[in-house]
Amino acid sequence: MKPKTFLILFLVLFLIDCKPPSYGNPCDPDSGAFKNNYIIKTIIRDKSAYCGLVTSTVGAASLGLTLSYVGSPYDFYQGTPITTITPTINGIIMNCISTPSLPTGLTLSTTDCSISGIPLTSQTSTNYAITAANSTQSGSATISIQVKTKQAKFLLVTNAATNNVAVFSINSTTGVLSGVAGSPFLTTGGTGPRFISAHPNGLYVYTANQSSANINGFSINSSTGALTALSGSPFSGQAVGAHAIAIDPTGKFLYASSFTTAAIFLYSIASSNGTLTYVGSYATSQSNPAGLVVDPTGKFLFTGTTPNPGKIEGFAINSSTGALTSISGSPYTSGNDTISVAIDPLGKFVYGVNYFSNDIYVYSINSTDGTLTPISGSPFALGSSSSTFMMVEPTGKFLYVGAGGTDVVGFKVNSSTGFLTSMGAPFSVTPGSSPGVVYADPSSTFLYSANTGSANVSGFTINQTTGALTQIGAPSASGGTSPFGLGFVSY
């Protein structure tokens, strides 16, 4: 009798053992289900792991479940997507858990114990025990994760009337601004630059040019701050009335809103050189979408429209193509002229400020589908004569609004509910005037306002407990007229 025939006959007889098998847990070595699966794997010479048992060429099995990660300790940056970390695993896993839970924004796969996502909060180095298990065995590995905050090195300012971008270096201790050599830099081929945004990698910056209906792109020297036009800049497409700019956290897509039509424009960003390729446009329900923001996870985009009443509109982002799909229930009610929208750093709430009704509408964001629900107490009165643009600083504790005239208005943010509490009297930008766009650096140490009326930029330190603002000396000249947009380049 041939050896293979003998083996098969033996195994068949084994299967019909007079003892009735227990068809219980398929990973219990004493169960019939386990034996049948194991015998079949032996017959077909399948050497892959099964429930922690690895079949050898001679049909032996080695017990145990292990996993290991390469590269720990890990240093990540807040708001920057991480490269997926996949461990080496010996055995079959049915579940994977972390003790304590991973930093907010990071996800642990229950099928292969890989770690992915975007860390949304900074933290010191912390140890995590990652445990993989099946019904009979478990294995664990300890890793260390630190989430750092990028430091703002340069402040960018667009000057809408003189078609240029001023670049300032930032003193990391005092917040004092100093113009870099060669500043300001012309937005050649682009007129009426409004908002400006830096790529997450700190290599490129882009301006939305409302008058010329295009986008300027620059590379930025990380040492000197000097700007150099990208090949093909300005990038045209169909960006009529390009006003606000938002870049997704992965740095693959750039969105621009139109202040003269009812559209949002999509460009793809070349990872190799930062050049833009026009992809298409997406209609908004009302004209003149002004503010534009992508949530910290990169799943949703929100804009505010400026008719009366204004609306807050939401879109889901296709992570592969950047395409936008209107969120169920969108658009959502807002006040008169929703000129600016903002999102807290954890992506829990969206805020819409209204120029003429001088109030802020607040909605909670469903993290799964992006639908919005108004929070209790919304809308919140600004108590100022006018309101322009706003932002929630990176710790999520405070919200600031450029209130026109000579003021910046501040609110404390309840991180659980999104509720806003006024800080009281506004903070003056005097001798500056007409503050519009306000922006806080990634460390939430400094806040700056672009003062359109006085052609300068005011700087403030932020009290980390109260949110109160204290001016940093005299405002800095903006390097042009009608300063509008602000942006940071951080490393």
Model confidence at 43: pLDDT above 80: no
Task: Give the model confidence (pLDDT) of 374-409 as tens digits.
Answer: 999 999 999 866 788 999 999 999 999 998 889 999
Q: Average pLDDT in the 436-457 region?
A: 97
The pTM is what? 0.85
Cα gap 138→485, rounded to integer Å: 54
Task: Give the model confidence (pLDDT) of 293-323 as tens digits.
Answer: 999 999 999 999 999 999 999 999 999 999 9
Asked if residues 76 and 119 have their Cβ atoms less than 8 Å apart, the reply is yes
Cα gap 143→249, rounded to integer Å: 25
Dihedral pair phi/psi, residue 349, rounded to 5°: -140, 145
Mean pLDDT of the chain: 90
Task: Give the model confidence (pLDDT) of 122-149 as tens digits.
Answer: 999 999 999 999 988 999 999 999 999 9
Q: What's the pLDDT band for 22 if we cut at 50, 70, 90?
A: very low
Percent of residues, the chain, with pLDDT higher than 70 = 87
Instruction: Report the pLDDT value the prediction gives residue 64, as an integer from 0 to 100.
Output: 76
Q: What is the DSSP string of 216-262?
A: EEEEE-TTT--EEEPTTPSB-TT-TTEEEEEE-TTSSEEEEEESSSS
Task: Give the model confidence (pLDDT) of 183-194 as tens digits.
Answer: 999 999 999 999
Asked if residues 139 and 66 have their Cβ atoms less than 8 Å apart, the reply is yes
Instruction: Report the pLDDT value the prediction gives residue 49, as an integer from 0 to 100.
Output: 53
Instruction: Report the pLDDT value the prediction gives residue 100, as an integer from 0 to 100.
Output: 98
Q: What angle do CA 257, 258, 259 make, to 5 degrees?
A: 115
Instruction: Report the pLDDT value the prediction gives residue 20, as an integer from 0 to 100.
Output: 46
Cα gap 324→299, rounded to integer Å: 10
Cα gap 255→242, rounded to integer Å: 10
Q: Find tokens 């602000």 and name the residue.
A: 486
Model confidence at 13: pLDDT above 70: no
Cα gap 168→95, rounded to integer Å: 50
Question: Which two three-digit tokens encode residue 328?
Answer: 């169920």
Q: What's the pLDDT band for 41 if we cut at 50, 70, 90?
A: low
Cα gap 387→293, rounded to integer Å: 18
Q: What's the pLDDT band for 425 if we cut at 50, 70, 90?
A: very high
Cα gap 380→359, rounded to integer Å: 5
Closest residue by Cα to residue 402 from 438, 373, 367, 433: 438
Instruction: Report the pLDDT value the prediction gives residue 383, as an integer from 0 to 100.
Output: 80
Q: Average pLDDT in the 248-256 region?
A: 98
Asked if residues 291 and 303 have their Cβ atoms less than 8 Å apart, the reply is yes
Percent of residues, the chain, with pLDDT higher than 90 = 82
Instruction: Indicate the burial class of 425 (C-beta count within 10 angstroms; 0-12, 13-18, 19 or more).
Output: exposed
Question: Which two three-digit tokens encode residue 14?
Answer: 């084994």
Tell me which of 18-27, 145-154, 256-265 is least confident: 18-27
Return the higher-pLDDT residue of 227 and 20.
Answer: 227
Angle, helices 3-15 vs 32-43, to 10°: value is 170
Closest residue by Cα to residue 185 from 219, 210, 208: 219
Cβ of 25: how many Cβ atoms within 10 Å? 15
Q: What's the pLDDT band for 40 if we cut at 50, 70, 90?
A: low
Question: Which two three-digit tokens encode residue 119?
Answer: 């860390």
Q: What's the pLDDT band for 35 if we cut at 50, 70, 90?
A: low
Omega prior to 431 cis, within 30 of 0: yes
Q: What's the pLDDT band for 53 if we cut at 50, 70, 90?
A: very low
Cα gap 229→165, rounded to integer Å: 12
Cα gap 258→240, rounded to integer Å: 6
Instruction: Report the pLDDT value the prediction gives residue 57, as an integer from 0 to 100.
Output: 32
Tell me which of 61-70, 93-102, 124-133, 465-474 is least confident: 61-70
Residue 37: strand, helix, or coil: helix
Model confidence at 38: pLDDT above 80: no
Q: What angle do CA 77, 81, 83 make, to 5 degrees?
A: 100
